[in-house]
Every structure is written in C-alpha cells, then in structure tokens.
Amino acid sequence: MIIAFIGDIVGRPGRKIVKQHLNSIRDEFNIDFVIANSENASHGFGLTMKNSKELFNSGIDLMTGGNHTWDKKDILALLEIEPILRPHNYPSGVHGTGVFKTEINGEKLAILNLMGVYTMPMVTNPFICAKDEVVKLREDGYKNIFIDFHAEATSEKRGLQQMLKGQVSAICGTHTHIGTDDLSIQDDTLYVTDVGLTGCRDNVIGMESTAPIKKFLTGLPAKYDIPNSCKSILQLIVIELNDGKAVDGFKIKVYDEGKPQVVQKAFREN
C-alpha cells in the first residue's frame, strides 16, 4: 500500500497547485490513498463546503484538521457527510471524530488526527488519547496506522514519535508551515516533524507579508490575508506500507508549474 500526505494547504494558491499536480503525481508514484491537512484551505482559515469539493475532486481522499478546524460554519455539516477529521483529542461531545478507518486492496488503514497542547486551543492530553486509540485500533486488526499530529512544539511531535515508534506506521507533523529535514524511519515508523505548507512560498507561512511584519514591529493585531499572486509550492510525503510497517518514504516538492522532485529520502535509523 502506498499513501501520501500533504501538509497544511493554505488558501487558493494551495488549492490551485494541488489541482494542477496531484492526480499526475498519484499516477506517477502509484499512490493508493491521499490524506491532506485542510484547516487553512479557505483563505487561510478553515474549510468551506465549496473548497472541500474542489479538493476532493483534485485527488484527495481524506482531510484532517487542527486549531482552525472550526473557523468556517460549513465544517459542522462537512464532518457529518465527508471524510474529514478534526483532532480526536477534543473533549467528549465535540462534533465529529478524529479517526477514519478504511480498506485498500484488502489491507486495513486507519488515520488518526491529533492536536498538541502548547499554544493551542483547549484539548485533552494527546499522548494519552493516542496511546489509548492505537491500542483499540490494533485490537481491531489495524496495523497500518497514520497520524497527523498538528502541533506547535517540536518536542511534542518528537515525544509522540518516541512513544509510538514500532506501534504505528507513520507520524507526520503539521501546523508550523515550515518543512523540516528529519524524515526518517525508526522501528518501522516513518516520522517527520513538519511536512511544510502547500501554498505561497515567498511570504510569511503562506500569508501576505505586510500584516505579520506590522505585528512583529508593533505588537498590534493585524488582519492576515492570502496574496493575490505568489510563487507557490506543493509538499507531500509518500509512504510505502507493508503489514503496518513503513518500508520506504520520501518527500516530493513541486514549485509553481514545474515537475515533481523527490527532494528527500527517509533515513532508516535502524
């Protein structure tokens, strides 16, 4: 089984480059299932019904969320009718779920969406949530388990990897929008601290630069916007799974209208 994960899709530029390239990437690399974090897909904040349809039609099979999950009112309906997750460690009673189960070519696959604690909205302990949920999934016969951990602190992401290595297939971090170079496989679990954004690459984490610079200089709040035009990037991790183990993994980048480039192979630590 070959799956792929796209980090935070930011606004129209992110949706556009996914639409331009994803289906051809799926064909070229024989990808069976595509997961994408979409909490910034609608002008940088949340996800609308219209934009969710656009992304599903572009070749995405499942979407995950994070702290911007609730920014658009459409999400309440979307969580009911579409394969869209919100962080599973929100308190009991919150709309939606953070677990998705499917079967691909006769193999079971589970996706778990979690959110960190540092600087994030109120959620329950992601480590306890993950530990308990992984036990349940494995008891139900799910060996192929993918986790999107949406967190600010790199230490939280690394801590989850150390806790769950050998028990899940892959842990990919999102939220900071800045890709890291630590793609690795340890105890058959693929890990990267942050995949990096898909969207504008020539500004501040996908947003037009004026507002964040003003905030950095003055400390005053400012309205963040997506640029009307920019240089764009698509970033995704491709993972080959076999019996719950990450056999291989690599990162692909696409710049603007260019061709997909394999820019990093997963380093096997054992």
Q: Which long-range CB contacts under 8 A does 190-193 form with residues at least 24 apart?
A: 190/237, 190/239, 190/246, 190/249, 190/266, 191/161, 191/165, 192/237, 192/251, 193/154, 193/157, 193/158
Q: Could you confirm whether 68 is annotated as catalytic?
A: yes
Distance CA 70, CA 195 (A): 22
3-state helix, strand, coil in the chain (%, to 5): 25, 30, 40
**Hey, how many other C-beta atoms are within 10 angstroms of the C-beta on 214?**
14
Of 79, 71, 83, 112, give the one whose Cα is nearest residue 96.
79
Active-site position among 68, 150, 175, 177: 68
Tell me the catalytic residues.
68
